[in-house]
Amino acid sequence: MKEIIIATKNQGKLREIKELLGEFNIKVTSLADYPDAPDVVEDGKTFSSNAIKKAVTIGKYTGKLVMGEDSGLEIDVLDNQPGIYSARFAGDDATYQKNNEKVLKLLEDVPMAKRQARYRCFAALSDGGKVIGVVNGSCAGLIALSTRGENGFGYDPLFIVPRYKKTFGELNPDIKAAISHRFHALQKFKTMFIAYLSTGKKELGCGCPH
């Protein structure tokens, strides 16, 4: 069975990506299955460059198909912070709770009408370190006045989806899976992946029976 490695240590992301790739007859692994893989230093200035760096570093190390995913939250009134620094917004020892507290503190005096935000997700595909492509998706929302709900991970207890007037923390994970930034990026990723696998076969003259 073919394998794709998701170059992540984030269990929340991995759970969602596995779910979204569920229909594929492919083995989905992650960095937990490659404990000696090199650390990826996320020093890119954009989500895209960090996603590519994850895919290329782990692709070169393993020689396999790899997805690098970089994502985060952009808040309008904070000039799109935390952005690429979402995981470590409250510092190197940041936890999801500390990050959420920092967001709430910074937005203390900001009324609901000015709390627009969006999640963004970039997903890069590499084959043995060669970049095949990078795709992205986003999801618009509002930052709540306090954390609400236990579902999801990261900023989800703060992220209100206007259509439901509930946070991703409160909403059923199936709803997040159908509308999130990751869902939109992964739809495009699947198209790119299928196209690559079919061209790859032709180029390699793989000896398949057809």
Tell me which residues are annotated as active site: 70
- Contact between 74 and ligand ITT by CB under 6 A: the answer reads no
Q: Rule CB under 6 A: is residue 167 a binding residue for ligand ITT?
A: no
Of residues 5, 13, 17, 61, which one binds ligand ITT by CB under 6 A?
Answer: 13
Stretch of 100-108, 126-134, 147-155, 186-194 lying at the interface with ligand ITT (CB under 6 A): 147-155
Residue with tokens 């309008």: 76
Dihedral, CA of residue 186, residue 9, residue 138 and residue 43, to nearest 10: -120
- When binding is defined by CB under 6 A, the residue of 48, 57, 62, 71 that contacts ligand ITT is 71
Tell me, by CB under 6 A, how many residues bind ligand ITT: 21
Site for ligand ITT contains 101 (CB under 6 A): no
Maximum Cα–Cα distance across the chain: 66
**Does position 42 bind ligand ITT by CB under 6 A?**
yes
Q: Which stretch binds ligand ITT (CB under 6 A): 70-78, 104-112, 123-131, 191-199?
A: 70-78
182: helix, coil or strand?
helix
Dihedral pair phi/psi, residue 75, rounded to 5°: -115, 120
Tokens standing for 121? 């997700």
Alpha helices in 47-159 (DSSP H): 47-62, 96-106
Cα dihedral angle (122, 137, 160, 92), rounded to 10 degrees?
10
Binding site for ligand ITT (CB under 6 A): 8-10, 13, 42, 69-73, 86-87, 99, 119, 152-156, 180, 182
